[in-house]
Amino acid sequence: MVNLLLAEPRGFCAGVCRAVMIVKDALQKYGAPVYVRHEIVHNRHVIQELEEMGAIFINELNEADISRPLIFSAHGVSVAVERQAQEKGFSVIIDATCPLVDKVHRQIRKYAANKMNIVVIGKAEHPEIIGTVGQLNDISKVQIIKSVEDVDTLPFPIDEPIGFVTQTTLSVDETQEISMALRQRYPQLSSFKNDDICFATTNRQAAVKKIAEQSEVVIVVGSKNSSNSRQLREVALKAGAKSAYLIDDVSELPWEVLDTAENIGISAGASAPEHLVAELVGTLNLRYDNIKIHHVIIAKENVKFKD
């Protein structure tokens, strides 16, 4: 018998649902094409579907026709990009930034207004961090770090006011270690919350941990450029799965590993649509005679963001 352990929650989070809906609504309201700066969410299948409907994904604003609507992705954008879009005179500008990323933007602006030194925990090249740091005109008091070791390299004096924000999709455990190291070096941070990792990232990591403890192999559905999907694979490995794979869809399934497994864990990143998971379960069902499905539920998510 092959046991399939399905992590719950998995897949689309409230911020991704909202962002994808914003693009679909814009296509319906304004017709095609609509321009989206950066991939609306990091998933190949979502992007492909929206492209087929008439969305055009761009990296720079000068790739777009200003007479058409422009949408900012769920990861958020810098103030400079917002300003540039206004100055160029786009007919319609729609912001699909996740409200939880917006919250981090407000926080970093507040630190800057209070003239504090600011530590940003995250990956400097990720669009969310570029947008977060880009909330400030002056970044001379900002340092981006991504490891416990980086804490020792921070140039900020201990007696100056300091605050920190984090990327929303990091590893919960690793980020806690970094924030603890920060608190040790800067004791005045002790009253700060641990991180800005969102509920969706936290829940998906907790659920994948649970299935990984009972699985030889864990399959995470998601794209390679999705930060939260990559984290799920890492978390699964750390939690005890012998192997873990991040796949865009069933065409990438590692059959040589699956064929010898009795317990297969399944999850999906916050940007991966559920139909890909259904297709995965259906494919495994066809291949193996005796499959038993177990739903491993660690939380129910009822969060919905308004447009």
Q: Contact positions toward ligand SF4, by CB under 6 A?
A: 13-16, 74, 98, 100-101, 168-169, 198, 200-201, 228, 270
Report how far apart the first and last C-alpha atoms of the chain are (Å, whole number): 45
Long-range contacts of 23-32 (CB under 8 A, 24+ apart): 23/50, 23/55, 23/71, 23/96, 24/50, 24/53, 25/307, 26/69, 26/71, 26/92, 26/94, 27/53, 27/54, 27/55, 30/68, 30/69, 30/92
C-beta of 232 vs 258, nearer to ligand SF4: 232
Minimum CB–partner distance for residue 271 and ligand SF4 (Å):
8
Alpha carbons 56 and 161: distance in angstroms, whole number: 44
Minimum CB–partner distance for residue 70 and ligand SF4 (Å):
19
C-beta of 98 vs 247, nearer to ligand SF4: 98
H helix or E strand, kind and range, residue 65: none
Minimum CB–partner distance for residue 99 and ligand SF4 (Å):
7
Minimum CB–partner distance for residue 12 and ligand SF4 (Å):
8
For residue 295, count CB atoms less than 10 angstroms from its CB and return exposed for 0-12, middle for 13-18, buried for 19 or more: exposed
Alpha carbons 303 and 292: distance in angstroms, whole number: 30
Asked if residue 5 lies in contact with residue 211, where contact means CB atoms within 8 angstroms, the answer is yes
Number of CB atoms found within 10 A of residue 54's CB: 15
Minimum CB–partner distance for residue 33 and ligand SF4 (Å):
24
Minimum CB–partner distance for residue 199 and ligand SF4 (Å):
7
Alpha carbons 232 and 171: distance in angstroms, whole number: 8
Alpha carbons 192 and 183: distance in angstroms, whole number: 9
C-beta of 49 vs 213, nearer to ligand SF4: 49
Cα distances (Å, whole numbers) of residue 178 to 5, 104, 164: 31, 18, 11
C-beta of 2 vs 16, nearer to ligand SF4: 16
C-beta of 23 vs 200, nearer to ligand SF4: 200
Amino acid, res. 41 = V
* The token pair that represents 210 in the structure block: 């649970």
Give the catalytic positions in this structure.
128
C-beta of 171 vs 201, nearer to ligand SF4: 201
Amino acid, res. 219 = I
